[in-house]
Structure 1
Amino acid sequence: MVEGGHFLKKLKYISSLLFVAILLTGCSEKETPEDRLQAYISNWNESKFSDMYSTFLNAETKKTFDSDEFVDRQEKLAEDLGFQNLKVTYTKPKEDTEWNEEKPAVFPIQISMDTIAGPIEFEKEMTWKYEKRDDKENWFAEWDPSFILPKLTAKDKIQISTMSAKRGKIFDRNGNPLAVNGTGYEAGIVPGKFTDETKKSELAKLLNTTSEFIDQQLNQSWVQPDYFVPIAPVSKNNQALLEQLIAIPGVTYQETEMREYPYGESAAHLVGYIGKMTAELLEKHKDEDYKETDLIGRQGLERILEERLRGKDGVGIYIKSPEAGATLQKIVETEAVNGENISLTIDAELQKNIFVSMKNEPGASAAVDPQTGETLALVSSPSFNPSEFMLGISGDRYKKLSEDPLKPLFNRFAAAYAPGSSLKPITAAIGLEKGTLKPEQGLSITGKTWQKDSSWGAYRVSRLHPEAPNPLNLKNALIYSDNIYFAQQALAIGKEDFVSGLTQYGFGEEIPFLLNISPSQISNDGKIASEGQLADTSFGQGQMLANILHLATIYEPILTNGIMYKPTLLLDDKTKQVWKEGILSKESADVLKNDLRSVVVDGFAQAANIPDIPLSGKTGTAELKTSAEGRGQENGFFVSYNTNNPSFILAMMIENVEDNGGSGYVAEFAAEVYKSDSKNK
């Protein structure tokens, strides 16, 4: 009896526990409206629109909005408007809130997201109602499109507008425009008047396009017989092409915005140009919001300064009501930020004068302000019209330019050349500072060739003017540009000290400059291996190469008593940035200043001996042998400045001067620059 009673009590106790467990389980399945809201928001933050529609919306909402209107619309808008960083939160109710299934539960919710036009933040109230569905009761949400974007209705459309940023302009130091947003023409067709199909191929050739592209433009859905259909841009300066176009019935043109390069060919290699985006460029800049229709800097400063010049387009997102006359409602708008206007240290008129003076001969020039290091001109000749490339150059035209033996597309001021005798003042400067060169001490040199001794084998130093008077001092050695004199001075300096001296002038290191230009080198490995190589290097031959900008810069210490400035190109850069200092004493500088004036007055640069403009400088000829025995191409140099008003140092190089009088030919060109420059008058 006792054991049986104990068993019954135990069974009763277990049954009670089971009942309580079942009761608790039933209670836990019953969700509160806050539970449902939390689950809904979790799906929303993860953009699970299908789950939101099927699981959480009440019957009335589903009756009003089908799945397309809820799911597809939100997915499309999220893609079109670039929704990112979506964050939905709600204001928690009081802890003791009791939910009445007979009354709606209302929660303030906060919605924020980033879009292509900027961030959006807004707050709404979301209502939940208790409903029975499929034999199951729960809380379900009321919804409308204003939960996607504020004030949006089912009938409204979303409009996206882009406000184009204006590209920054490029000016010279005096405010003259080098690259600006001007105007040009858009050539096109009025279909109703373009009746001669045989003219289509002719038009395509004129505009560097295809008949297929013209058909594609004409077959667009909006085209009407009397509409203007644009085909291709044309420079307003290309009057010859415009006349050919309008000679075709039905072809005309309209004015449009277009990049202009007022100094054209004279500054083309420096300023560069913008051009159409290519697939390769689009991939390269895939994280920078470029579009296929954008223009981008393709060469020169247009490319190097692209980030500063480009600007940022503005974007607006608006609600467009179907009602007639309704105004757009702005949701969010980011204004366009125009590109930065940039001023250069370049003097555009000086740049143009130098280019014109070079008469399309192949060569390069640079002008620097010796007192500041500012670059006043960088010229490559011959050149090209940058507008041709901006508008899309034809294959035939590009082939003609690229195969031109004068290489107008090649940027010569970015290259490095053997400087020839234009290096001799620097050799002298190193010797003066080393103490091995005594300017008044003469050397007795006879004959046209010389070698130190028989250890040099067949190598001999040659000179052009064996008639130079003995004993030969520094002044006469510069006047007669005597290779033997400078070879002997270099030997006296010694290989290591000569290399060290050239290094002090920046040879063998990258030139600190905005543009990518070739560094000047002492030799291929930066060393001088033999006395013969030392001799050659002393007068700018051997393996020595110099960039034209660097060549102008290394003459600065002669005018600054030993300071060489970093060449700058942007007007807002700090001036007088010391690159090298203490490399030439005032005493040595005065000797060289006096002697460089004598080179022009008494030497072989007579074309630069202008009566009213006293010039100082040094010519140079570098021979590039085409064979071991024969005479090869000669490049001529002249580095000069106005003796009384050295506002700039001009370094000029012309290729192939062997049949034009050598470096004197270059001096003649340089003289034209000083004559036309207003600061020298």
Structure 2
Amino acid sequence: MIKIFINKRGYFVSLTGGGKVRNKKMKRKVIMITVIGVCILVIALVSIFVKLFFENREISIQPDELLKQYMANINDCKYEEMYAILSDGDESDLSKEDFIAKNQNIYEGIEASNLIINITGMTELDKSQIIVSYDTYMDTLAGEISFSNEARFIKNEDKEHRLVWQTKLIFPMLNAEDKVRVNTLKAERGNILDRNGEMLVGKGVASSIGLVPGKMNESKERDIERISELLDISVENINKSLNATYVKDDTFVQIKTIPKDQQELEDVLLEIPGIMITDIAVRFYPFGEKTSHLTGYIQNISAEELEKLKDQNYNANSAIGKSGLEKIFEDRLRAMDGYEIIILDSNGEKKNTLAKKNQKDGESIQLTIDATMQSILYDQFSEDKSCSIAINPKTGEVLALVSTPTFNSNDFVQGMSANKWSELNENINKPLYNRFNVALSPGSCFKPIIGAIGLTSGVIDPDDNYGHSGRSWQKDASWGDYKVTTLKDYGDQANLENALVYSDNIYFAKAALKIGRDLLAEQLTNIGFEETIPFEFGMYSSSFSNTGTFDTDIQLADSGYGQGQILINPLHMASIYSAFINDGNMIKPYLIYKDNSSPEYWKEQVFSKEASEIVHKDLIQVIERGSGSGARTEGVLLAGKTGTAEIKLSKEDKEGTELGWLSIMTADKNNEAPLLIITMVEDVKERGGSQYVIQKVKKVFENR
């Protein structure tokens, strides 16, 4: 048995031999175990402290970071997340729903965006309250708003910081009973004026027809049916308007806008209980149908347009040009409304102006158009499917652009019924189709162009006699049964002048063959075929072949008298004809009025001076003694060419239609008010062909 004891120095002493060494080893082991135990305890305590510290940090986010979160949620319209940051029992005592509604109405009402804050300081009032000072910057529909402000944070029972909400957090000068209002500062869209300053498009007044529900009586349903009939609007649409959530007994509920001049209709409507009629400002087209294809119209912007133009300050209430000049010059005509963001006190009085962006009126545009000329041409052809273009051939000023049948631009602005829209779309005469900007088969009006090309290139001598061909001709037997035909057999003097006077298809078929495929294609390209016409109003380009070349001699021959695949835009034709009085230079047409009307040419020297003079002289004879003699006007020397283009599915087609043309101009090169008119009328077959057109255009020259 071994006995162990501890001496005064703390050694372990054994009665057996070697005990002192073993005691030292055991002591070191105890010390090591003790140290390790202490380290483990320290590490555990530190871990617990760190865990608790960071858990507490995660729960209690610092006030400045909380405020940044709150403001960032405004940009994202996350109003519920904003509400979650608030303390309980704020001074406003707003419910969650009221808080969301108030903030949403204000921030989205002013179109707040890009809101940022800059923390400028934090002040601890006591252990449970901190004031955060900050600067705010935001963009709105009225411009930037910036201000300095303070936010108060308190600790809740869980020691978490919470924002004390008050209306001053929105704007520092906003009290709980105040209201934020956005005033629209209306801008005026630019006017469109004619050359003499007469308004073609501008501000007008219309009658707004509406109902006041509280003034309707027991015959309400019967009265609504009567209103539906009178205004061509469905009962369903009327009831939908009356049942809108905002409608009260004394609310004026707009039903339809009608022109101001419909007094008889207004008198009948006013006999119905509850009807009220007020004047409203509208975009007005005083010439109605006479200028509609030219001016076009405006309407409210569509969702697709709004998405496409989202960076150009349009909104859901914007009106935008939909067609014609209203669309072409949208950027210049457009009005930019201004906005004012204000605070109203409890009495409705203006308290503060937060931001203001002034309105910007659109630019008014003056055209070269002569409203009188436009009206005369429209009146002459209002019952036809036609187009007419009038220009000053010396300056290029476009005096009239008319397409019939047409529509009334005012109908689109004031509200078009579904029935009216269907009528326009389903009308076989296509009133929505703009005929003055398309390319059409020109018929014999193309012959002077072939003559000028042949003379300029030296292929045609004006005195050459192509001999007698009768009323039908073919180049050779390779054409099979195909022959070129003409209406009049005028004998054996087939020179250029007679060919134009008698409108000889055969002469110009032969001329085209002499010019040749390549040269004719080259020369037509030189005078603007297959090229965009340099003009403010978009026009279809003219073309001479579907393949870009004349594939056969028959096609080439037919092209010589304006058939084949020749398609020409009327304005392009006017520019080519202007070369006959401009020494071979094609005038550049333009539409925007300018004080200096000195000529600018689109194409120079497309015909030689000699060639243009010969053709000009011959065109005078066409009016004096030829196919255009019906246009002779006392006191005015005229030059021109008639044309009848056949529109057929094939040569054998006997049911095809005809286009009647007249290209006519004042012939005196010194005339102070030169005029060139190009007119095309569809379906002149059985109506006298181009002679039908002559009688109507003649009246324009007679009434000048």
TM-score bracket for the superposition, by shorter chain length: 0.7 to 0.9
Counterpart of 1:358 in structure 2 is 381
Q: How does 1:2-17 map to 2 (within 5 A)?
A: 3=28, 7=32
d(CA) in 2 for partners of 1:40 and 1:155?
27
Deviation string for 1:556-609 (max 9, x for gaps)? 222333333443333479985653323122222222222222221222212222
Check if 1:648 corresponds to 2:648. no
Deviates more, 1:506-515 or 1:18-27: 18-27
Aligned partner of 1:80: which letter?
G
Counterpart of 1:148 in structure 2 is 170
d(CA) in 2 for partners of 1:215 and 1:290?
31
Check the 8 A contact 1:204/1:210 in 2, yes or no.
Answer: yes
Measured after TM superposition, the shift of residue 510 of structure 1 is 3.2
Aligned partner of 1:452: which letter?
K
Counterpart of 1:528 in structure 2 is 550
Aligned partner of 2:686: which letter?
D
Which among 639, 650, 655 is matched to residue 616 of structure 1? 639
Counterpart of 2:695 in structure 1 is 668
d(CA) in 2 for partners of 1:245 and 1:89?
61
Check the 8 A contact 1:43/1:51 in 2, yes or no.
Answer: no
Check the 8 A contact 2:138/2:144 in 1, yes or no.
Answer: yes
Aligned partner of 2:393: which letter?
P
Distance 1:240 1:496, change over 3 A: farther
Which among 341, 349, 366 is matched to residue 364 of structure 2? 341
Distance 1:529 1:139, change over 3 A: closer
Deviates more, 1:301-310 or 1:424-433: 301-310
Instruction: Tell me the SS of whatever aligns to 2:291.
Output: helix
Distance 1:300 1:14, change over 3 A: same
Deviates more, 1:392-401 or 1:199-208: 392-401
Counterpart of 1:473 in structure 2 is 495
Instruction: Tell me the SS of whatever aligns to 1:319.
Output: strand
Measured after TM superposition, the shift of residue 182 of structure 1 is 0.2
Distance 1:205 1:274, change over 3 A: farther
Q: How does 1:156-555 map to 2 (within 5 A)?
A: 156-189=178-211, 192=215, 196-197=219-220, 198-219=222-243, 229-246=253-270, 248=272, 251-275=275-299, 295-322=319-346, 324=347, 326-358=349-381, 360-468=383-491, 470-555=492-577
Check if 1:46 corresponds to 2:46. no
Check the 8 A contact 1:43/1:49 in 2, yes or no.
Answer: no
Check the 8 A contact 2:424/2:432 in 1, yes or no.
Answer: yes
d(CA) in 1 for partners of 2:89 and 2:223?
63
Measured after TM superposition, the shift of residue 293 of structure 1 is 5.8
Point out where structure 2 has 5 or more consecutive residues left out of the alignment.
1-23
Distance 1:557 1:76, change over 3 A: same
Point out where structure 1 has 5 or more consecutive residues left out of the alignment.
none
Distance 1:330 1:359, change over 3 A: closer
Deviation string for 1:388-433 (max 9, x for gaps)? 3333334444444445454433322133221011011110111112
Counterpart of 1:86 in structure 2 is 115
d(CA) in 2 for partners of 1:280 and 1:287?
13
Aligned partner of 1:40: which letter?
L
d(CA) in 1 for partners of 2:48 and 2:636?
111
* TM-score relative to the length of structure 1: 0.86
- Percent of matched pairs sharing the same residue: 35
d(CA) in 2 for partners of 1:395 and 1:70?
43
Check the 8 A contact 2:130/2:153 in 1, yes or no.
Answer: yes
Check the 8 A contact 1:561/1:585 in 2, yes or no.
Answer: yes
Check the 8 A contact 1:621/1:635 in 2, yes or no.
Answer: yes
- The RMSD of aligned alpha carbons is 3.7
Distance 1:226 1:69, change over 3 A: closer
* Structure of higher CA gyration radius: 2
Deviation string for 1:184-231 (max 9, x for gaps)? 111234553655443432220221212233334445677677775432
d(CA) in 1 for partners of 2:186 and 2:172?
26
Counterpart of 1:114 in structure 2 is 139
Check if 1:634 corresponds to 2:658. yes
Aligned partner of 2:176: which letter?
A
Deviates more, 1:422-431 or 1:374-383: 374-383
Measured after TM superposition, the shift of residue 365 of structure 1 is 0.9
Check the 8 A contact 1:107/1:127 in 2, yes or no.
Answer: yes
Instruction: Tell me the SS of whatever aligns to 2:117.
Output: strand
Check the 8 A contact 2:469/2:506 in 1, yes or no.
Answer: no
Instruction: Tell me the SS of whatever aligns to 2:350.
Output: coil
Distance 1:20 1:452, change over 3 A: closer
Instruction: Tell me the SS of whatever aligns to 1:149.
Output: coil
